[in-house]
C-alpha cells in the first residue's frame, strides 16, 4: 500500500514537473519565436525595402537608358516586398504553428523521458523485490542464495554481498558439520583404542610368560615350535599396537599452533626435502616467486602434504610410468589456495562423496586405515580453511588446500 502511494506520488510529481517544464519552455519559446519573426517583418525592414524599390523607379527617370535594368530590380524588390507582406499577413499563424511544433517536440521529449524514468523505477523496484526475497531466504537459513544481479550499481553490489554472505554461511555450516562428524569419529577411535589397549597389554604379558615357559622345555622340536609361535604372535601383537597407535593419533590430533609463515618457503622446503621420498613420484613445485603469507602450523601442513603424496603414490602403484605430484598456488577470491595435483587414475566415483570420511579407502585390507584424508581435512579445518577435492578424472586428481588470508600486520 505504501509502495503504491509512493509510486502515485512520484508519478504525480513527475507529471507536475513535466507540465511546469512545458509551460516555462512555452513562455520562453513564445517570447523567442515572436521576437525572431518580428525581426524578419519589422516595419522598418519593410519600409527600407520599399524605399529601395522606389529608388529604382527614380533612377529609371534620371537614367532612361538603364530603365530595363532598373525595372527588373524594381520587380525583384517588389516581389520581395510582396513575400514579406504575405508573411506579415500570416505572422500569427506561422508563429503559432512553430510554437505548437516545438511544444509537441518538448512534450514528446518529456513524455519519453518520463516513460523511461518510470520504466527504470519499475525495474529498480523489481530488482529490490528480488533482493528482498533473497535477504528473506538468507535470514531463513537457506543455503546458496542467488539474487541473479550482475550490475555494478548499489543494488548489484548489495546483491553480491548477500550472495557472498550466503556462500560463507554455507561453507561455515559445511565446515561445522564436518568438524562435528570428525569429532564423533575421533571420540569413537579414542574409545576403541582404549578398549583394545588393555587386552593388548594383557596379551603381551601372557606372551612373555609363554616365552618363559618355552625356555624350560628341553631343546628339541617342541621348543623350536614354541619359539616360532612366540615370534609370530609377537608380530601380530605389534601390528595391533600399531593399529591402536594410529587410532590414538587420530583421536588425539593436536590443535594447530598457528604462526605466520611464508607458505612459498614452507612448501618449497617440503618439496626439496621429500623429493626422493616416493620413487614412483616426481615432486614439483611451481614457485610463484613471491612470499605468500598465512597463519599455519608448518609441521601439520607438512604432514598433510605427506598424506596426500602417500595417497598419490599408492594410487600410482601398478602404473608402469613415474607419476608427478605438483604443488601450485591458485588465485581465489578470498584467502589462499594451494593446489596439489597428481596424474594418477583419479578417485573412483563411488568414493568421491565420502572421500574425507574416516576409514574410507580403496586399498586392500591391511594397506591403510583410510584416515589420511580425514586427518588432513581436520587439520585444514582447524586452520580455519578447508581441504577440497577440486578435480578428479582418469587424467589425475587435484586437491585444493584453502587457508584464510592472514590479518594485516600492523605498521
Partner 1 sequence: MLSASAAGLLLAAAALHGGQGPAYTIGRDRTLAVSALPEVLSLPEVRPHLNTGLTTSFIVVVKAAAEPGRKVRGAARIDVRWEPWDEVFLTTAVGADGRVRRDTHRSFAALAGWWQSLELPVALALPLGSWQVRVELSVIPFSQSEQRDAQRWFSSAPGDDAASEPATTSPGESRLNGVVDLLIATSIQRRSIVRYAWPATPRPVPARGP
CA gap 274, 268 in Å, rounded: 10
In the complex with partner 1, the residue whose CB is nearer, 98 or 274, is 98
Cβ 22 to partner 1 shortest distance, Å: 19
In the complex with partner 1, the residue whose CB is nearer, 47 or 184, is 47
In the complex with partner 1, the residue whose CB is nearer, 15 or 89, is 89
What are the C-alpha distances in Å from 14 to residues 17, 18, 25?
5, 6, 16
Q: Which residues, at least 6 apart from 94, have a Cβ–Cβ distance to it below 8 Å?
A: 37, 87
| DSSP helix/strand/coil, 334 | coil
Cβ 108 to partner 1 shortest distance, Å: 13
Cβ 156 to partner 1 shortest distance, Å: 35
Cβ 90 to partner 1 shortest distance, Å: 5
What are the C-alpha distances in Å from 76 to residues 85, 91, 221?
14, 22, 151
Cβ 42 to partner 1 shortest distance, Å: 15
In the complex with partner 1, the residue whose CB is nearer, 28 or 89, is 89
Query: What percentage of the chain's residues is helix, strand, coil (to nearest 5)?
Result: 65, 10, 25
Residue numbers at the binding site for partner 1 (CB under 8 A): 53-54, 57, 71, 74-75, 78-79, 81-83, 85-94, 96-98, 101
In the complex with partner 1, the residue whose CB is nearer, 78 or 324, is 78
**Cell of residue 210, nine digits:** 609363554
235, with CB counted inside 10 A (0-12, 13-18, 19+), is exposed
CA gap 315, 340 in Å, rounded: 14
Cβ 82 to partner 1 shortest distance, Å: 5
In the complex with partner 1, the residue whose CB is nearer, 85 or 191, is 85
CA gap 315, 358 in Å, rounded: 18
Amino acid at each position: 500500500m505504501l509502495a503504491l502511494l509512493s509510486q502515485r506520488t512520484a508519478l504525480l510529481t513527475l507529471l507536475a514537473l513535466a507540465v511546469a517544464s512545458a509551460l516555462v519552455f512555452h513562455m520562453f519559446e513564445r517570447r523567442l519565436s515572436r521576437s525572431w519573426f518580428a525581426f524578419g517583418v519589422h516595419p522598418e525592414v519593410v519600409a527600407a525595402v520599399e524605399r529601395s524599390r522606389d529608388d529604382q523607379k527614380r533612377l529609371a527617370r534620371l537614367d532612361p537608358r538603364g530603365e530595363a535594368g532598373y525595372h527588373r530590380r524594381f520587380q525583384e524588390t517588389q516581389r520581395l516586398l510582396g513575400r514579406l507582406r504575405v508573411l506579415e499577413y500570416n505572422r500569427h499563424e506561422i508563429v503559432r504553428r512553430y510554437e505548437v511544433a516545438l511544444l509537441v517536440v518538448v512534450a514528446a521529449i518529456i513524455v519519453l523521458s518520463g516513460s523511461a524514468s518510470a520504466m527504470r523505477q519499475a525495474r529498480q523496484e523489481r530488482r529490490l523485490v528480488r533482493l528482498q526475497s533473497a535477504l528473506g531466504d538468507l535470514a531463513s537459513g537457506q543455503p546458496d542464495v542467488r539474487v541473479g544481479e550482475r550490475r555494478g550499481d548499489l543494488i548489484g553490489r548489495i546483491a553480491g554481498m548477500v550472495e557472498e554472505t550466503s556462500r560463507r554461511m554455507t561453507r561455515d555450516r559445511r565446515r561445522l558439520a564436518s568438524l562435528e562428524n570428525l569429532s564423533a569419529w575421533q571420540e569413537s577411535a579414542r574409545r576403541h583404542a582404549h578398549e583394545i589397549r588393555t587386552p593388548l597389554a594383557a596379551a603381551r604379558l601372557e606372551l612373555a610368560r609363554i616365552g618363559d615357559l618355552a625356555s624350560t622345555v628341553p631343546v628339541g622340536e617342541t621348543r623350536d615350535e614354541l619359539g616360532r609361535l612366540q615370534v609370530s604372535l609377537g608380530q601380530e601383537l605389534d601390528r595391533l599396537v600399531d593399529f591402536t597407535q594410529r587410532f590414538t593419533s587420530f583421536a588425539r590430533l593436536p590443535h594447530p599452533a598457528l604462526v605466520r609463515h611464508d607458505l612459498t618457503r614452507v612448501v618449497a622446503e617440503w618439496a626439496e626435502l621429500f623429493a626422493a621420498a616416493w620413487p614412483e613420484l616426481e615432486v614439483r613445485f611451481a614457485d610463484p616467486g613471491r612470499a605468500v603469507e598465512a597463519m599455519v602450523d608448518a609441521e601439520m601442513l607438512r604432514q598433510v602434504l605427506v598424506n596426500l603424496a602417500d595417497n598419490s603414490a599408492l594410487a600410482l602403484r601398478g602404473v608402469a610410468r613415474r607419476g608427478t605430484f605438483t604443488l601450485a598456488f591458485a588465485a581465489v577470491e578470498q584467502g589462499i589456495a594451494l593446489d596439489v595435483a597428481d596424474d594418477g587414475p583419479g578417485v573412483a566415483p563411488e568414493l568421491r562423496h565420502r572421500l574425507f570420511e574416516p576409514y574410507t579407502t580403496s586399498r586392500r585390507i591391511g594397506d591403510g586405515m583410510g584416515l589420511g584424508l580425514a586427518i588432513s581435512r581436520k587439520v585444514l579445518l582447524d586452520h580455519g580453511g578447508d581441504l577440497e577435492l577440486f578435480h578428479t578424472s582418469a587424467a589425475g586428481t587435484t586437491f585444493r588446500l584453502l587457508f584464510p588470508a592472514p590479518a594485516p600486520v600492523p605498521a
